[in-house]
Amino acid sequence: MGKYVTRRLLLMIPTALLATMVVFGLMKLVPGDAAIAILADLDVGTQEEADVAADRLRERFGLNESLPVQYWKWIVSVGKLEFGDSIIQGRPVRDIILERLPRTLELAAIAVVLIFAYAIPMGIWSAVRQDKLADHLIRVISILGLSVPLVWLGTLFMFGSSRLLHWVPPLIYKGPIDSLGTNLLMLGPPAVLLSFAIGASIIRMTRGQMIEVLREDYIRTARAKGLAQSSLLVRHALRNAILPVMTQFGGILGALMTGTVVAETIFNIPGLGRAMVESINNRDFAVVQGLVLINIAMVLMVNLVIDLLYSVADPRIRYS
């Protein structure tokens, strides 16, 4: 097990580096640069004076150097756990990540708890009541979650709550320590929408796997012996159906991190997703690179944890 984990951790390094190289190259192809973004809102006089000021900014932040040199300097800063310096904010990207990461993790954690609370039970119930009214209703809900874009759901919620209920979530973020009520009111609606949009696939996967397992001979034998329905579903059926669901869940966590970009933008949550949008608009390449690296690391770690949980769910699985 230890050798397997070590090998997986080492393989994460080239994967992350390759992804950051691709993002770094693509960002450099975007028209404009951070120097122009900084000077856009400033009165710097004539066009010639603006060009001189832009050149000074490029020289100051190393934007006039070759791409390999810029990328190498960024890699060195990653080794120092600084992730470069934000050109717009003038501080290490590490500080921006540490400031905003807890907010995104809190939003994602609430959404994950909601997904576990309703998606798996609904999938089980839909399989047990196959082709009944409850099954049809749950399938309709899951199809809506898969087909309706999150950006449309969020916009519709904000419009409906403000026009019909005359209420909108708080627009100024407060941590759970400062004000738990305000924090939940701000993060609750986007977490619910995220769980609805992403949990739909878990419902369908759980339903499909449970239907398949419930048709197995050992399930019919256990039922014939008079085993209680709850024990039959949880200890026998769900345990054998959960592995594909875990795989699906590991995959959607990447989509969950992507979904926070939309949710944080719509609901004005100052997390990593909103920082990504702001950095792209401002051509703040160092921040974009740092956020991409953090997202890649989280997705890779989640997949590793899911793989390790396979052996917990199924003792026959062993890693060497």
User: pLDDT (tens digit, 9 = 90+) per residue, 90-146?
Assistant: 788 899 889 888 888 888 889 889 988 899 899 999 998 888 999 999 999 999 988
Q: Are 164 and 173 in contact (CB under 8 A)?
A: no
DSSP string, 90-108: -SBHHHHHHHHHHHHHHHH
pLDDT value at residue 136: 93
pLDDT value at residue 260: 79
Which bin fits 62, alpha (ψ -120 to 50), beta or left (φ > 0)? left
pLDDT value at residue 315: 66
For a pLDDT cut of 70, what percent of the chain falls above it?
89
What's the predicted TM-score (pTM) here? 0.82
Query: How is residue 41 annotated by DSSP?
Result: T
Question: Alpha-carbon distance 220 to 3, whole Å?
Answer: 41
pLDDT value at residue 140: 93
Contacts of 241 (CB under 8 A, 6+ apart): 206, 209, 210, 212, 213
Contacts of 153 (CB under 8 A, 6+ apart): 193, 196, 197
Across the range 185-189, mean pLDDT stands at 90
User: pLDDT (tens digit, 9 = 90+) per residue, 130-149?
Assistant: 889 999 999 999 999 888 88
Sketch the domain layout of the chain as residue ranges: 100-313
Indicate whether 59 pLDDT > 70: yes
Query: How is residue 177 annotated by DSSP?
Result: T
SS3 content of the chain, % helix, strand, coil (to 5): 75, 0, 20
| Class of domain 100-313 (CATH, top level) | mainly alpha
